[in-house]
Amino acid sequence: MGKLRTKRIGVMGGTFDPIHTGHLVAAEEARIQFQLDQVLFMPSGYPPHKEERNNLAAEDRYVMAVIATADNSDFKVSKMEIERPGPSYTIDTIEQLHGEYGKNTQIFFITGADAILEILTWKEPEKVLREAVFIAATRPGYDLAKLEQALPKVEKTSQAQDPQIIVMEIPALAISSTDIRIRIKESRPIRYLVPDGVCEFIEKNGFYR
Ligand code: NAP
């Protein structure tokens, strides 16, 4: 019998407050570029490094992620970090996922480049970098030198065999959750910046006003 192929799982980590089209474009780009079998959106429960709490409760951020990904069978949403008590440390998530999917699974952790910039200050950074490949999604105009200077082994290609941190440029990330929250406060439109269902859910619940 042939050797079993290593499963490749993408994990989209973030607060998703709210999830928007830029996140979906980034997940799809990573799925194709890194030949992922599935992308698991992982809304954080209580993110470390954050003094102020998120704008919305974890459950509401989770529901929006479910609505946004409902029509894509390659995308799933996990409650793992929301249900785990205490701060959402990425190393705990990766280990829990290896427990569920098996050690033979390669995890690609996708998140914003600014978050990755801080990776050396995360819990157990050496271990976290050993256990997963990190994909830093950048917005247009992002200064790559910041990442290259701060971190070891940053590569700008998906072809390299050994890198732990790979940069992925996503023009659609000109959309940001912060901008969406400001737009809602100022009664400006968010249609097409977030999926229709998310737009309706935000409106129905009066979020971010
Ligand atoms: P955040 O506040 O949601 O995002 C920081 C920046 O990255 C924002 O510009 C954000 O843009 C962007 N971003 C976030 N998630 C993204 C994604 N999946 N794809 C593309 N861009 C994304 O997130 P955070 O609190 O910095 O944390 C990011 C991830 O790192 C989370 O999974 C968190 O658990 C993990 N983390 C772990 C540790 C640790 O283990 N000690 C410490 C810090 C962070 P938008 O606002 O538009 O999303």
Please tell me the residue having the least CA distance from ligand 1 atom 40.
Answer: 89
> Does 108 have pLDDT greater than 70?
yes
Residues contacting 183, CB < 8 A, separation 6+: 189, 190, 193
User: pLDDT tens digits, residue range 157-201?
Assistant: 444 445 588 999 999 999 999 999 999 999 999 999 999 999 999
Q: Read off the pTM.
A: 0.93
Please tell me the residue having the least CA distance from ligand 1 atom 15.
Answer: 14
User: pLDDT tens digits, residue range 14-57?
Assistant: 999 999 999 999 999 999 999 999 999 999 997 666 655 568 99
Residue 115, ligand 1, Cβ within 6 A? yes
Please tell me the residue having the least CA distance from ligand 1 atom 18.
Answer: 111
Task: List the chain domain ranges.
Answer: 7-174
Residue 26, ligand 1, Cβ within 6 A? yes
Class of the CATH-defined domain 7-174: alpha beta
Residue 88, ligand 1, Cβ within 6 A? yes
Nearest ligand 1 atom to alpha carbon 137: 20
Q: Which amino acid is at 79?
A: K
Would you say the C-alpha torsion 196, 136, 35, 15 has a positive or negative sign? negative
